[in-house]
Structure 1
């Protein structure tokens, strides 16, 4: 019981900033690994299968997806321009859920909706003090 009491009194363990760090790192890693990395590794195949909901060209759609799912998660994980970097991710996920897959039930689209919640929370809350943004006074 004494150990639990010490942990609760230690500000690093009860810090919302630690929660934001965890949210940034895990959300960014998940998005990068599940969606971004396969697009880069299998670019030609992805180019043939990616949806183009606004008729801007498959190449543009894929490059925007790579930007939002590879480069933005790296910035978010590091805590660099965090709120700004979350916006393309939110935009991409919103298009995917509302324009590309509007017929999906909540259960079918739960991964996308959860990612929207994660990156929406990051955009609203910011990176927290364990970030490069905070070290530069921009959190």
Structure 2
């Protein structure tokens, strides 16, 4: 294996680590609590677009459960990053505009992480590389 192949492999491993760790973090810390305790979360969810608590929570569950699973698997990863990035920006800029960078640091770090996956793509260690057609190029 030459140096170029080694660099490519380590880049793919890095993207895999980024996708899996970031996706599982978002899923476990934000998505699963909403999914598993739906009723309690209805009382807590912010509704910045006045869609109603139920619809807002359903959309949040989609973004924080389904999208991270797609990112972890590397299937439609770039597309799955878009709703995540949107929700993070809404949370940081509209829902919690009073937060300092220090108070919102985890949100900003998640924004950086998922923006990186969006820019770089899932890498070659992703399920989409094994799937035919449109999923390979997304």
TM over 0.5: yes
Measured in 2, the distance between the counterparts of 1:74 and 1:68 equals 10
Where do 1:1-139 residues align within 5 Å?
Answer: 11=6, 15-136=10-131, 137-138=136-137
Structure 2: runs of 5 or more not aligned: none
CA distance 1:122–1:13, change in 2 (3 Å): closer
Measured in 1, the distance between the counterparts of 2:126 and 2:9 equals 17
Deviations, residues 54-99 of structure 1 (Å, cap 9, x unaligned):
1111111111110010000111100000100111110111100000
Q: Which has the larger radius of gyration?
A: 1
Structure 1: runs of 5 or more not aligned: 1-5
Runs of 4 or more, structure 1, over 4 Å off, are none
Deviations, residues 107-138 of structure 1 (Å, cap 9, x unaligned):
00000000000001011110000001222332
Q: Is the contact between residue 75 and residue 82 of structure 1 (CA under 8 Å) also seen in structure 2?
A: yes
SS at match of 1:102: coil
CA RMSD of aligned residues (A): 1.9
Measured in 1, the distance between the counterparts of 2:4 and 2:120 equals 24
